[in-house]
């Protein structure tokens, strides 16, 4: 594909076919993503690649945790007191974002509302919204899920490097006719992933990724809006006309 077409056609895929991804292709994509630049070329990341029975076990374990968490969120306050013993609380390495900054919240809301409207899910239909959210933990039926870990010793810089790596991987996958969905949701619980992979002590679970062949499903046609280049670029301190 033309590079500009790869950039333009990558979008978050939230429904996958069950077609397997050949191991050699997966390895080639990861190899391409390793071309990503990183701070002093430290490449401060690891990925845990889940397929087959490991993927099935993670789907079950994460799905169960999400069910418990969602039940707990609707429980009365006295039941919430027992939350630490419920097995529902996230045990991820980074705190989930509970409150978004005021200037970013409208974009988040517009994207969330846009997705539900696109799917015909009414705002007050909590069961349907929950069911859509639960799809995250089934990896949207993808045959491959990845969990991205970053070295805590480089602070923000390893997060930056991991982001560049992740986008490189997603673009390489797009170029190969595959679809991806980056998923912060897959970093909510670390213990189910740790059950299957040996994770070196300084590495923290940042994000997950579902990968596979996109299904012909309306959810994959959703295209959330972007800010304009004008909104992106900061204005100069002085307007041009006032330069003199």
Ligand X SMILES: Cc1cc2nc3c(=O)[nH]c(=O)nc-3n(C[C@H](O)[C@H](O)[C@H](O)COP(=O)(O)O)c2cc1C
**Residue found under tokens 């939350």:** 83
Q: x/- binding map, residues 192-221, to ligand X, per CB under 6 A?
A: ---------------x--------------
**Residues touching ligand X: how many (CB under 6 A)?**
12
Complex with ligand X: residue 87 or 184, whichever CB lies closer: 184
Assess 158 for contact with ligand X (CB under 6 A): no
Nearest distance from residue 147's CB to ligand X, in Å? Answer: 13
Complex with ligand X: residue 27 or 125, whichever CB lies closer: 125
Q: x/- binding map, residues 49-88, to ligand X, per CB under 6 A?
A: ----------------------------------------
With CB under 6 A as the contact rule, the residue among 47, 65, 136, 148 that binds ligand X is 136
Assess 96 for contact with ligand X (CB under 6 A): no
Assess 42 for contact with ligand X (CB under 6 A): no
How far apart, in whole angstroms, are the C-alpha atoms of residue 145 and residue 186? 9
Chain positions 163 to 192 lying near ligand X, rule: CB under 6 A, are: 181-185
With CB under 6 A as the contact rule, the residue among 12, 158, 159, 168 that binds ligand X is 12
Nearest distance from residue 24's CB to ligand X, in Å? Answer: 27
Residues lying near ligand X in the complex (CB under 6 A): 11-12, 14, 111, 136, 181-185, 207, 224
């Amino acid at each position: 594909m033309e590079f500009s077409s790869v950039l333009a056609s990558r979008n978050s895929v939230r429904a996958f076919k069950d077609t397997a991804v050949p191991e050699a292709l997966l390895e080639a994509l990861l190899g391409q993503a390793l071309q990503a630049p990183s701070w002093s070329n430290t490449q401060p990341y690891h990925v845990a690649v889940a397929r087959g029975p490991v993927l099935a076990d993670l789907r079950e374990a994460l799905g169960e945790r999400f069910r418990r968490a969602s039940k707990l969120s609707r429980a009365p306050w006295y039941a919430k007191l027992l939350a630490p013993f419920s097995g529902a609380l996230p045990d991820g390495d980074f705190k989930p974002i509970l409150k978004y900054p005021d200037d970013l919240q409208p974009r988040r809301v517009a994207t969330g509302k846009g997705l539900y409207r696109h799917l015909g899910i009414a705002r007050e239909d909590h069961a349907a919204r929950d069911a859509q959210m639960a799809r995250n933990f089934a990896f949207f039926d993808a045959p491959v899920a990845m969990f991205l870990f970053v070295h805590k010793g480089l602070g923000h810089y390893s997060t930056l490097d991991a982001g560049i790596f992740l986008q490189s991987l997603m673009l390489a996958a797009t170029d190969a006719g595959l679809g991806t969905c980056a998923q912060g949701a897959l970093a909510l619980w670390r213990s189910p992933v740790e059950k299957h992979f040996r994770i070196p002590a300084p590495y923290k679970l940042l994000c997950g990724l579902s990968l596979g062949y996109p299904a012909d499903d309306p959810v994959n046609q959703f295209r959330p809006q972007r800010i304009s280049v004008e909104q992106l670029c900061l204005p100069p301190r002085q307007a041009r006309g006032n330069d003199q």
